[in-house]
Amino acid sequence: MHNKAIVSSNPLADHPAKQQAVIAAKDLRKTYGDVAAVDGISFSVPAGESFGLLGPNGAGKSTTMKMIGAVTQRTSGELSIMGLDPDSHGPEVRAHLGVVPQQDNLDEELKVRDNLLVYGRYFGLPMSYLRPKADELLEFAQLTDKAKSKVDALSGGMKRRLTIARSLINEPRILLLDEPTTGLDPQARHILWDRLFRLKEQGVTLILTTHYMDEAEQLCDRLIVVDKGRIMAEGSPAQLIREHSTREVLELRFGSERNGTIGAELQGIGERLELLPDRVLIYAHDGEAALEEVSSRGLRPLTSLVRRSSLEDVFLRLTGRSLVD
């Protein structure tokens, strides 16, 4: 039932201008007083791409999203959304966007289905279009049986899905998702990822911020790693891992007292060592081989784990800090 197109098939898909960027930012800056929240970033996103902004809290992701969403004006630099300047064409730009903010801001005074209808009216859309569209979106969000419920009777995951359904009411070309699954339990996250993946298949351009590695790896074709308002790296998840990390990682725990001092004894194993307060990371092409070498030096870690490199490791390498702190 859910494979019906929610957004009418992308009109750009077969067009020669396919590669034209729907979002183009150049030296984008936003300062609040002396603090630069976004400090000169440049990127462009072609139609239909799923593009991620990855970084810790306070990196400038949300501010960037607000500038793209035409609700915050930039301090300097260039920004174009669907060829329009969001600072001077706010309502026109927003007509092309669907926005899922970090915190749900559903209308608690209205029922579930009315939330969709009223939101559509904000775009100036007629009721004859909105009534069937609302039903279709409720089905997409698996909320059909909740149509007449009050919003505060919904679970966190349901509210999130309703917010996403609401953001699709105007058939947006670009969907902005700010931390879409933060605060949800694993099952609700997977349902949400599935819905977002369907939208991506239908050609919607997705822009999402996240500090979850698995989310970025699941959903993003390409991403930028942002820290302190600047871009640290750019590429596909696999490409970033290839360029900035090794294939595998060996994680060792020696207990909190020894983790800090063990470095000297592990020198030379793998390509790179990372000493963290709670564990030691050894970056190596072959994690098992590295573990054997650790054992052959007579070292006995309390726990050991060999895993694939992730974006978390990329971030650690680029910034010297971990993402979730």
Partner 1 sequence: MSVLTDGHSVTEEARNRTFGPLYSRNAKAVIARGLMATKSSNWLVMLSGFFEPVLFLVSMGVGLGAIVGAVQGPDGAEISYAAYIAPALLAVSAMNGAVYDSTWNVFFKMNFAKLYQGMLYTSLGPLDVALGEIFLALLRGLLYATGFTAVMGLMGLITTPWALLMVPASVLIAFGFASLGMGITSFLKTFQQMDWINFIMLPMFLFSATFYPLSVYPQYIQWLIQAMPLWHGVELLRQISVGAFTPATAIHVGYYVLMTALGMLLTTVRLRKLFLK
Residue 153 binds partner 1, judged by CB under 8 A: no
Kind and range of the H or E element at 90?
helix 90-95
Residue 122 binds partner 1, judged by CB under 8 A: yes
Residue 90 binds partner 1, judged by CB under 8 A: yes
The Cα 228–Cα 37 span in angstroms is 7
The Cα 69–Cα 81 span in angstroms is 9
Q: Which of residues 32-51 bind partner 1 (CB under 8 A)?
A: 47
Residue 20 binds partner 1, judged by CB under 8 A: yes
- Which residue in 50, 62, 170, 246 binds partner 1 (CB under 8 A)? 170
User: What tokens were used for 198?
Assistant: 């369907």
- Which residue in 83, 156, 255, 263 binds partner 1 (CB under 8 A)? 83
Q: Chain-centre distance of CA 177, in angstroms?
A: 7
Hey, which residues does 233 pair with through a beta bridge? 225
Kind and range of the H or E element at 51?
strand 50-54
Q: Are 183 and 171 in contact (CB under 8 A)?
A: no
CB of 135 to partner 1, least distance (A): 16
The Cα 30–Cα 232 span in angstroms is 17
> Which SS3 state, helix, strand or coil, does residue 246 take?
coil
Residue 103 binds partner 1, judged by CB under 8 A: yes
CB of 235 to partner 1, least distance (A): 25
- Which residue in 33, 91, 277, 298 binds partner 1 (CB under 8 A)? 91
List residues near partner 1 by CB under 8 A.
8, 10-12, 15, 17, 20, 22, 47, 69-73, 82-84, 87-92, 94-97, 99, 101, 103, 105-111, 114, 118-119, 121-125, 129, 170-171, 173
